[in-house]
Structure 1
């Protein structure tokens, strides 16, 4: 850990984005310093959960695959928990939704997605499915109108729009394309949706709905690049009846294994796993930048980049698929700082980081737990110290 703390000071200076003005960078560093101060050097080891946590934080397991999360509940928490998000409820509580990356195979349970409902006091009060009869549901994204988009990660995978409360049936959104989906982020200002593709030569897509807040129809486009400047060209065969989407536009920009994606403050941030990079797209200008590249150091703090989330203080949190089983914060000047480390789970990956509406709790999963098997996933709640929440 000490070696990594030394490395973090020099890593990001070489690839800091030119889009971040000095004044804005200084302002964000001030906010970030206040938020992350308790995390940098003051940690403790939770022997019960075999985890390194920030001083003052606490960890609990809220769900285990194949087991009911609530006493007497009929719903067994799904295996291979993956992407997730939190939604506020009218009673002051919240819901954490989570995908299941299980395949649809004979004798095996479906993928789909499930939900954990919490009361205003943080107690777990209910658990239920919100999507069934799908497969390999990897990541996804939340919408500004408070639904969950669950993405299937296979060659003809679709995006499904789900009700976090489980009261309305999930609906397929084929207008978003049939491909190996990973994640979705929606710009609340324009209503445009940005989608990643988990292929070694995958693409970045943009969906412009005919009506704001309605994903049933619209224009699907793929990114094309002129250096680090992105433009967009329409995809004609969104159902991939004749050719995979990524090959329909020869000029399409290639990204090496698109993973998590999130919108924040006029930018879309996304990760690519095969080159261990984090990218930033300024949506107004189409300007692209690499803000983290693990190849620039011999022993990177962050590797196996996967799901991505924005912390209350504005830092980016990146979950590791492999690596050192960490959730790593990228501060305002893109320095990597470990937030949490799980030990004894080397055959798993961290998935689904998402904050409760008040920012006091961070939910995430270890997809395969301590056994390394999808049927033994663990879903956690990290309660943060007050100083971090205030940031």
Structure 2
């Protein structure tokens, strides 16, 4: 029997540490990385809907905004190159969806919805920044918008107010991609979109204030593919990337092309596009594992991993930058499955960005950054609703 290279890599990675740990470990280790399989939502439709979206049965899409055009009847012009986003509940029963602009002029816009999901407002919440890529929501209701260039910083914004935002320089100066907050460990985790990038942790001096604290870069110990990975942390300066700090660079691990980052139920999920992996870090134990790697199984559907979010059921939704323009789902539990959930037709020169669920978990927002023309001025922001688990 011929052993496929992907299978050999998988067996090699799992076998080294498992032999000494017994059959219980083998059961979990073999189940850990997500395998291609049927989606809990069923197959995608054979043809796209009127908006160019292929969806499982029972789901529908609508277009919320288009770059260069007014959002509904608000009179506010939607920004170009929509990127990372998140939803925030309002005391009125509605919610706000924030969306970064990855243009040189940067910034962040927001759309306000009433309790029934109707668009009732749109406005700019951050200006005067550059290349705002992804970011992350905080438990105290602000949006952290990340600048993706070598001198990039993180800006904290109130999603309900126009024209504001405060730089949080203590969170580092590098090509920021995304950030996630661990409310129990009172720490922030950050990805860096660079071939020499690191995975960072920020410990605020007085949580939840982000004005001061210690920035750290991660070192990987053990083998995350074999279930024996852990992270330890090395203090670094916030004034430059860890890779340019010689004493730090030699003690920390490269994460090639850090992308999305999200916290859910005590786990930090993040992605790296250089090796097309989805990772899971558990701060309480220090554990680090690879929960998806397209090299492990033939015909894995998820390529070009990018932004990530998690639904109420614990399903991980990963957007593609490239590939065949899908949002794929990775199911939780001991037998993880990866499968397509959404596919955009006619957007081959674009990327999917900003996946985020409404507070009630019934609507998923995301954008096609460059639409059907491949131009940053042709971005489209969607909403998908239906029977989410």
The TM-score bracket by the shorter chain reads 0.7 to 0.9
TM-score, normalised relative to structure 1: 0.86
Q: 1:226: how far off?
A: 2.3
2:215 alignment partner, one of 214, 220, 228: 220
- The answer to whether the 8 A contact 1:301-1:337 is kept is yes
Of stretches 164-173 and 186-195 in structure 1, the one that deviates more from structure 2 is 164-173
Q: 1:138: how far off?
A: 0.3
Q: 1:235: how far off?
A: 0.7
Aligned to 1:322: 322
Aligned to 1:247: 244
CA distance, structure 2, for counterparts of residue 293 and residue 359 of structure 1: 27
Q: 1:167: how far off?
A: 4.8
Aligned to 2:266: 266
- The answer to whether the 8 A contact 1:44-1:55 is kept is no
- Secondary structure in structure 1 of the residue aligned to 2:196: coil
- The answer to whether the 8 A contact 1:82-1:351 is kept is yes
Q: Deviations over 1:266-300 (max 9, x none)?
A: 21110000110011111112121111111223432
Q: Deviations over 1:39-86 (max 9, x none)?
A: 12363633312221011111010000011103251x210100000000
Aligned to 1:84: 85
Say yes or no: does 1:170 pair with 2:165.
Answer: yes
Aligned to 1:305: 305
CA distance, structure 2, for counterparts of residue 371 and residue 42 of structure 1: 24
- Secondary structure in structure 2 of the residue aligned to 1:221: strand
Which consecutive residues of structure 2, in runs of 5 or more, have no partner in the other structure? 1-6, 33-38, 223-228
Q: CA RMSD in A?
A: 2.5
CA distance, structure 1, for counterparts of residue 199 and residue 316 of structure 2: 20
CA distance, structure 2, for counterparts of residue 49 and residue 62 of structure 1: 11
CA distance, structure 2, for counterparts of residue 72 and residue 313 of structure 1: 34
- The answer to whether the 8 A contact 2:74-2:121 is kept is no
Say yes or no: does 1:350 pair with 2:352.
Answer: yes
CA distance, structure 2, for counterparts of residue 93 and residue 43 of structure 1: 30
Where do residues 19-38 of structure 1 align in structure 2 (5 Å cutoff)?
A: 37=40
Say yes or no: does 1:132 pair with 2:127.
Answer: yes
- Secondary structure in structure 1 of the residue aligned to 2:71: coil
Where do residues 113-262 of structure 1 align in structure 2 (5 Å cutoff)?
A: 113-167=108-162, 169-227=164-222, 228-236=229-237, 238-240=238-240, 244-248=241-245, 249=248, 250-262=250-262
The aligned length equals 357
- The answer to whether the 8 A contact 1:174-1:216 is kept is yes
Label 1:72 to 1:351 Cα distance change in 2 as closer, same or farther (>3 A). closer
Q: 1:190: how far off?
A: 2.0
CA distance, structure 2, for counterparts of residue 222 and residue 235 of structure 1: 7
CA distance, structure 1, for counterparts of residue 74 and residue 234 of structure 2: 52
CA distance, structure 1, for counterparts of residue 74 and residue 151 of structure 2: 37
- The answer to whether the 8 A contact 2:126-2:163 is kept is no
Q: 1:246: how far off?
A: 2.2
CA distance, structure 2, for counterparts of residue 343 and residue 266 of structure 1: 36
Aligned to 1:363: 365
Q: 1:194: how far off?
A: 0.3
CA distance, structure 2, for counterparts of residue 269 and residue 131 of structure 1: 26
CA distance, structure 1, for counterparts of residue 279 and residue 361 of structure 2: 24
Q: 1:335: how far off?
A: 1.4
CA distance, structure 1, for counterparts of residue 49 and residue 265 of structure 2: 38
Q: 1:314: how far off?
A: 0.4
Q: Deviations over 1:156-178 (max 9, x none)?
A: 10000011012572000000010
CA distance, structure 2, for counterparts of residue 96 and residue 226 of structure 1: 38
Aligned to 1:4: none
CA distance, structure 1, for counterparts of residue 283 and residue 275 of structure 2: 23
- The answer to whether the 8 A contact 1:182-1:196 is kept is yes
Say yes or no: does 1:94 pair with 2:95.
Answer: yes
Q: Deviations over 1:194-250 (max 9, x none)?
A: 0000011210110000111111111111112222221111113x112xxx3223202
CA distance, structure 2, for counterparts of residue 302 and residue 72 of structure 1: 37
Aligned to 2:3: none
- The answer to whether the 8 A contact 1:64-1:379 is kept is yes
